[in-house]
Amino acid sequence: MNYQALVILVKMELKKAIRQPANLFLNLLFPAVLTIVFLFAFSDPEMGMDVNSLVPGLIVYAVIFFIMTIAQSFSSERQEGLLRRLNTTPMTSAEFMGSRIITHMLISIVQVVIVIALAYLLGFRPTGGIGGILLALPVVAIFALSSVGLGLITATISKTPEAATGISFIFILPQMFFGTFIPITSTTEQIASFIPSFYVVDALKMIFKGDWMNSNILLDLTIISIISILVVLLGIILFEKFGNR
């Protein structure tokens, strides 16, 4: 592994996240807007939806949208011949994919910070304190892997960036409806048990409450890690085999 190449590619990806208006919006402004709007509109302690219980869902919501940005990015780079050009440099696939994963893990951490900072201004007071917030960062970063993987699968299926946007919702919508801050009923719980975001929200709720000794956190983390690693590996394999040309 050439670490210099990895660093160069991560820097390039970070520039893309900041300089491309659509990426800037989805990666950084969207979580901010979402936090402000949802905490004002849906925060209702009487309905059991106080600020503290909404924040884990908001964080996960932002990371889910990586599926769209990654799928668009890969399919447009493929369409513009950039992937072919990058493939003719001595850079390896591991360096290329590694750089995308690292970049999105970093962005997910920034998203957590944005959501928490804004939520704090609107009354978010996690009983887990700063320790809970710090623990949330790696959990969300691992979850970001699954979004990278689903983004790659979307890019493999899609022929154009426009198609990628539409197809990405196949993976975004179930996670939005069954795994974020929308209350789970006994019927939807069955479906939610197959959705990675459900476990992330569950783990974050316990982490923010400071309920760190709860064995369910470990179970959630194990499930999130296994799903995320499998999905990202599947995404890389499918994209390398069918989507990279």
Partner 1 sequence: MSLDVKTVLEGLNKKELVEIAKLRKISIPHNWSKSLIVELLALNVSVDDIPKIKMESLVHRVKSNSAPIIVLKDLVKKFEDVVAVDGLNLEIMEGELFGLLGPNGAGKTTTISILNGIIKPTKGIATIAGFDVTKNMHAIKKIIGLCPQEAAVFKFLNARENIELFGKLHSISGKQLEERTDRLLELLGLKEASRRKTGSFSGGMLRKLNLIIALISDPEIAFLDEPTIGMDARARRKTWEFIGRLKEEKKTVILTTHYIEEAEALSDRVGIIDYGKLIELGTPEELMERHKAKNLEEVFLKITGRRIMEGV
Structure tokens at 41: 């509109």
Structure tokens at 91: 């850079």
CB closer to partner 1 out of 89 and 193: 89
Structure tokens at 219: 């179970």
Residue type, 151: G
User: What angle do the packed helices 51-64 and 161-179 form, to 10 degrees?
Assistant: 160
Residue 163 binds to partner 1 (criterion: CB under 8 A): no
Residue count at the site for partner 1 (CB under 8 A)? Answer: 23
CB closer to partner 1 out of 91 and 191: 91
Shortest gap between Cβ of 11 and partner 1 (angstroms)? 9
CB closer to partner 1 out of 122 and 237: 237
Find the binder of partner 1 among 3, 40, 41, 81 (CB under 8 A). 81
Shortest gap between Cβ of 77 and partner 1 (angstroms)? 8
Residue 188 binds to partner 1 (criterion: CB under 8 A): no
Residue 14 binds to partner 1 (criterion: CB under 8 A): no
Residue 160 binds to partner 1 (criterion: CB under 8 A): no
Site for partner 1 in 88-147 (CB under 8 A): 88-92
**Choices 27-35, 78-86, 119-127, 223-231; region in contact with partner 1 by CB under 8 A:** 78-86
Cα 164 to Cα 158: distance, rounded to the nearest angstrom: 5
Shortest gap between Cβ of 158 and partner 1 (angstroms)? 19
Residue the block writes with tokens 């990278």: 148
The string of DSSP letters for 21-65 reads HHHHIIIIIHHHHHHHHHHHHH-BGGGTB-HHHHHHHHHHHHHHT
Under 8 Å CB-to-CB from 15, ≥6 apart: which residues? Answer: none
Cα 4 to Cα 95: distance, rounded to the nearest angstrom: 9
Residue ranges that bind partner 1, judged by CB under 8 A:
2, 4-5, 8-9, 12, 15-16, 19-20, 80-82, 84-92, 245
